[in-house]
Chains A and B, each alone.
Chain A
Amino acid sequence: MIKLQDVRKTYQLGDNRVEALKGISLSIESGDFVSVQGSSGSGKSTLLNILGILDSYDSGSYTLNGTAIRDLTQKQAAHYRNRFIGFVFQSFNLINHKSAVENVALPLYYQGVPRRERNQLAMDYLDRVGLAGRAEHKPAELSGGQAQRVAVARALITKPALLLADEPTGALDSETSAQIMQLFRDVNDEGVTVLIVTHEEDIAAQTRRTVQLRDGDIARDERLE
Chain B
Amino acid sequence: MIDRDIWREVYSALSSNRTRTLLTASGIFWGIFILIVMLGFGNGIEVGVNRSMQGYASNALYLWGSRTSEPWQGLAPGRAVGLNNDDTTAIEAGLDSVAHLAPRARLGRWRGRNDVRRGTKVTEAEVMGDTPALEYIIPMDIQVGRFINQLDIAQRRKVVVIGERVHEELFGSDVNPLGERIQIRQISFTVVGIFRPQRYGKDRERLSSTVFTPLSTFQQVFNRGKRINYFSMVPVPGVRSEHLALEVRELLAGLHRVAPHDRRAFGDWNSEKDYLRIRNLFTGIRGFIWTVGIATLLAGVLGVSNIMLIVIRERRREFAIRKSIGATPAAVVRMILLETSTLVGVAGLAGLLAGLAALQIIDLFTREVASADSDVLFSTPFVDMRVAVAAMLALALAAVLATVIPARHATRIDPAEALRSE
Contacts and interface: CB of A to CB of B under 8 A. Distances in A.
B323 interface: yes
A12 interface: no
Contact of B328 (A52, A78, A91): A78
Interface string A39-74: 000000100010010110000000000000000001
Contact of B326 (A45, A49, A107, A115): A107
A83 B419 CA distance: 20
A162 to B, nearest CB: 13
Nearest to A98: B12
Contact of B422 (A91, A107, A166): A91
Contacts of A111: 326
B322 interface: yes
B321 A110 contact: no
A154 interface: yes
A90 B5 CA distance: 29
Interface in A67-94: 74-75, 78-79, 81-83, 87, 89-91, 93-94
B182 to A, nearest CB: 87
A110 B325 contact: yes
Interface string B164-182: 0000000000000000000
A133 interface: no
A79 B324 contact: no
Contact of B13 (A54, A97, A109): A97
Contact of A95 (B5, B318, B421): B318
In the complex, which range does the number of interface residues on chain A fall in? 20 to 34
B324 A110 contact: no
Contacts of A87: 324-325
B109 interface: no
Nearest to B324: A87
B411 interface: yes
B202 interface: no
Please classify how large the interface on chain B is, using the bins under 10, 10 to 19, 20 to 34, 35 or more.
Answer: 20 to 34
Contacts of A98: 12
B364 interface: no
Contact of B321 (A95, A112, A167, A170): A95
Contact of A110 (B317, B331, B411, B416): B331
Contacts of B416: 49, 54-55
Contacts of B323: 78, 81
Contact of B421 (A94, A97, A154, A166): A166
Nearest to A80: B326
A106 interface: yes
Interface string B293-328: 000000000000000000000000110111111111
A81 B322 CA distance: 11
Contact of A81 (B318, B324, B329, B330): B324
Interface of A: 45, 49, 52, 54-55, 74-75, 78-79, 81-83, 87, 89-91, 93-98, 106-107, 109-112, 115, 154, 158, 166-167, 170
Given A83-B326, A89-B419, 17 more contacts: A52-B324, A54-B324, A74-B328, A78-B326, A78-B329, A79-B326, A81-B323, A81-B324, A89-B421, A90-B421, A93-B320, A93-B324, A95-B322, A97-B12, A110-B327, A158-B326, A170-B421
12 contacts: A45-B420, A54-B415, A81-B323, A82-B326, A89-B421, A93-B419, A96-B16, A96-B318, A107-B326, A110-B328, A115-B4, A115-B8
